[in-house]
């Protein structure tokens, strides 16, 4: 048996965005940022358990709805109440 004919099936996994799929489908409530109110403090970004808020160059937060599960933490920690949780439309 030569090495060329041989390959392994090893329990090794590679880092991937969406390892369990698009977790945005889990969402019941959707966070909406009011950019007028937002002070770009970054609290929503650092506390998002799903790494679904990105900070742009100027620290403006942007929610990635593909993965946001809608837990509501960003809305709860926002010091100026700039994030509202709205019920997702079903269907």
Partner 1 sequence: MAKWEMMTGNKAAAVGAKLARVQVIPAYPITPQTTIVEYLSKFVEQGELKAEFIRVESEHSAMAACIGAAAGGARAFTATSSHGLLLMTEMVFWAAGARLPIGMAVVNRALAPPWNIHVEHTDSHSQRDSGFIQFYAKDNQEVLDTIILMYKVAEDERVLLPAMICLDGFILSHTYMPVEIPDQEDVDLFLPPYEPKGFLLDPEEPLTYGSLTLPEHYMEMRYDIQRSIESARDLILKYSKEYEEIFGRYHGGLLELYKVEDADYLLISMGTLGEEAKVAADTLRREGIKAGAVRVRVFRPFPTETFVNTVSEKKALIVVERHLSLGGIGGALGTELKALLYGKTDVPIFNYVTGLGGRDTTYIDLAKIVKHSIKTGRPKDNYMWYNLKMG
Partner 2 sequence: MSAVRNLGLTKERFLLPGHSACHGCGLAINLKIVLKVLGKRTILVIPACCSSVIQGPYPKVAFKVPTMNIAFASTGAAISGVSRALKIRGIEDVFVVGWAGDGGTVDIGIQALSGAAERGENILYICYDNQAYMNTGIQRSGSTPYGAWTTTTPIVGKKQFPKDLPLIMAAHRIPYVATASLGYLADMIRKLRKAKEIKGPRYIHLLSPCPVGWRHDSAHTVRIAKLAVDTWAWPLYEVENGRVKVTVKPKRKPLKEYISLQGRFKRLTDGEIKLMEEEVIRRYEMLLKMEKSGIEF
Task: Give me 25's structure tokens.
Answer: 């489908």
Binds partner 2 (CB under 8 A): choice among 15, 36, 89, 90: 15
34 lies in the binding site for partner 2 (CB under 8 A): no
66 lies in the binding site for partner 2 (CB under 8 A): yes
Q: Which does 8 bind (CB under 5 to 8 A by kind): partner 1, partner 2, none?
A: partner 1
Burial letters for 64-73: b for 16+ Cβ neighbours within 10 Å, e otherwise? eeebbbbbeb
Pairing of strands 83-87, 61-63: unpaired
1 lies in the binding site for partner 1 (CB under 8 A): yes
The CA angle 68-71-77, to the nearest 5 degrees, is 105
Binds partner 1 (CB under 8 A): choice among 6, 36, 56, 87: 6
Binds partner 2 (CB under 8 A): choice among 34, 42, 60, 86: 42
């Amino acid at each position: 048996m030569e090495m060329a004919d041989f390959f392994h099936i090893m329990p090794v996994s590679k880092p991937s965005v969406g390892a369990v799929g698009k977790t945005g489908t889990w969402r019941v409530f959707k966070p909406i940022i009011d950019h007028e109110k937002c002070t770009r403090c970054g609290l929503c970004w650092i506390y998002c358990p799903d790494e679904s808020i990105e900070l742009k160059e100027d620290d403006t937060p942007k929610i990635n709805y593909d993965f946001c599960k809608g837990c509501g933490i960003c809305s709860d920690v926002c010091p100026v109440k700039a994030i509202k949780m709205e019920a997702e439309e079903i269907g």
